[in-house]
Amino acid sequence: MSRLAIPKTYKLSIGGAFPRSESGRTYEVTTPKGAFLANAAQASRKDARDAVVAARAAQSGWAGATAYNRGQVLYRIAELLEGRREQFVEEIRSSEGVSAAAASAQVDRATDAWVWYAGWTDKYTQVAGSGNPVAGPYFNLSVPEPTGVVVVIAPQGAQGGSLLGFVNTVAPALVAGNTVVAIADETRPLSAITLAEVLATSDVPGGVVNVLTGSPAEIAPWLASHADVNALDLAGAGALEWIDLEIAAADTLKRVLSPEPGIPELSLGRILAFTETKTVWHTKSVL
């Protein structure tokens, strides 16, 4: 007697746990030809709020870790992703309708991106910081600091690879010590949730990366107007009413990165987009 298949339900990732949506809603994830692949949780407004609460609770600890330690943690993600590459290749191949070779190449590029960003954790401050010339018996130093809680709308659909697009937007925000609430590719969310499982079994503290699946058009407005969100990356919002999201974000003075025609795979600019510059003044000693 043949046994029934047990399709996986891909849940949300909030605070290091994997809850179903509090609304109980799910939606079907299919292949490009319409064949069923899996069920995914459809995040609600309360799920989005819970993700922000988790990200805020984790932010001070993540920002307070040494830059060297953050680099070690991001490198560990690459190690674990490499160890589960077969699962990622199969999810990408089935959900995007690409060849195994193309899916494998995407996993390689995503893994390399984690390594690249890990290397910047203890170096970007030297590029973005400065000692400033001042006229008077004092000097000052400008140093970049994390913005706080960053909401990321990952690239959607035809914008490129689902895993690579997710990594290219989430990883740079983590370098400086920000925490992230990410809305995954709606039609191809499987690799993002599997990556969240990797994060949960690595050294990434719970709440540093929170992953929501479902409709960006439904979830994004609530996050754009949320008073405890500090920044908004609209990388995957090109098909949405993203000007409305910018307007909602302006009410609470959020930093906003508008949609781009192409997401750079490795970009120092994406790290610095979610930093704030603090300038500290010191008096000179008089002997």
Question: What average pLDDT does this structure show over 201-210?
Answer: 95
Integer CA distances (angstroms), 272 to 99, 103, 172, 218, in order = 35, 30, 8, 28
pLDDT tens, 132-156?
777 777 777 778 899 999 999 999 9
Ordered domains of the chain (ranges, CATH): 9-282 (3.40.605.10)
pTM over 0.85: yes
> Using CA atoms, how far apart are residues 37 and 215, in angstroms rounded to an integer?
18
Under 8 Å between Cβ of 246 and 252 = no
| Crossing angle (nearest 10°) for helices 242-250 and 216-224 | 20
Specify the pLDDT at position 152.
97
> Using CA atoms, how far apart are residues 113 and 167, in angstroms rounded to an integer?
7
Specify the pLDDT at position 50.
98
101: which residues sit within 8 A by CB, 6+ positions away?
none
Backbone angles phi, psi at 22, to 5 degrees: -65, -20
Question: Is it the case that residue 287 has pLDDT exceeding 60?
Answer: no
pLDDT tens, 56-113?
999 999 999 999 999 999 999 999 999 999 999 999 999 999 999 999 999 999 999 9
